[in-house]
Amino acid sequence: MDLCYEALNGSCGKYARPFGIHVLMLIAMMLTTIVTVIGNLLVIISIGHFKQLHTPTNQLILSLALCDFLLGLFVMPLSAVRSMQGCWYFGDSLSVLLMISISWLIPAIFAYVSTYFELNLYGDRDFYETHVRCAGGCHVFFTHGPAVVISLFSFYIPGLIIIGIYSRIYMVARNQARLISLQLNQLRRVYPSEGAQRRAQKATITIAIVVGVFLVCWTPFFLCNIMNPFIGYTTPQMLIDALVWFGYVNSTLNPFIYAFMHSWFRKAVRIIVTGGIFQKNSSRQQLDL
């Protein structure tokens, strides 16, 4: 078996796959990465360039698109090499640098502290040293306690908070829309138009879909992550890699959600692709909201 580092004792072994599978994986990962980068870059340019799109809801979309863009630009290419070869050639310092660069402050600190102090190995370091650790490896490994705690604080609790916040927003928006609808019958000139109500409702639905897709894409990995220590670390590393990439696909899908839900994004993309944003006063051009 080929090794990641031939000259080092205890080196990880490279993944052995048929050539056809190797090529298909490479094509799939390249396409996913390219679509993620280009799609989210179009979202960033659209919202940043057109003044009509400078709304609070779109600022939230812009922030999410920026995260997805950085994930596609910095994380996916390096992760593809690791998933293809089963080896990590980029060193610990680059890993930390990229983590800090592409993450927001709190997740970066949380991940760095957990990794630097090897909190993920707490309670079962001997098993890791004997059965998992090898030169050239970058394995996703958590012992029983850290698997539960880290998964709770990095995914499950934030996920529940997101669901709770969205549920609250949805209830408030629904009650407000119902109230406006009742009062519009009496004072139509005072309250927003039906078109404004529809746009607000569509924005709410978009956020719901984005959150739902995020949970669908990342829940399998975090379920596997929290279960693996309790089933004797029997989950194949290739399956873990596949679940990680299924989570990455969330960043690929988000621009398609925006394109499906909002005509302004489709029109903005046409203007960007055709070079219309370089025309004078293009930032003030009106889009279909």
Q: What is the CATH number of domain 19-284?
A: 1.20.1070.10
Q: What is the mean pLDDT of residues 147-176?
A: 72
Checking if the pLDDT of 40 tops 80, the result is yes
Lookup: tokens for 18 = 């048929």
SS3 247: helix
The winner for highest mean pLDDT among 20-34, 145-159, 172-186 is 20-34
Checking if the pLDDT of 149 tops 80, the result is no
Cα three-residue angle 207-283-59, rounded to 5 degrees: 25
Tokens 């640098």 found at? 97
pLDDT recorded at residue 254:
92
> What are the residues whose beta carbons fall under 8 Å from the beta carbon of 225, sequence distance 6 or more?
140, 142, 147, 151, 240
Q: Which residue has the higher pLDDT, 288 or 217?
A: 217
> CA neighbours within 13 Å on the CB side: how many for 129?
6
Q: Which of the four pLDDT bands, split at 50, 70 and 90, describes residue 255?
A: very high
Beta bridge partners of 135: 11
Other CB atoms within 10 Å distance of the CB of residue 202:
15
Residue 282 near residue 271, CB atoms below 8 Å:
yes
Distance of alpha carbon 109 from alpha carbon 275, whole angstroms: 40
Domain spans of the chain?
Answer: 19-284
Length in residues, the chain: 289
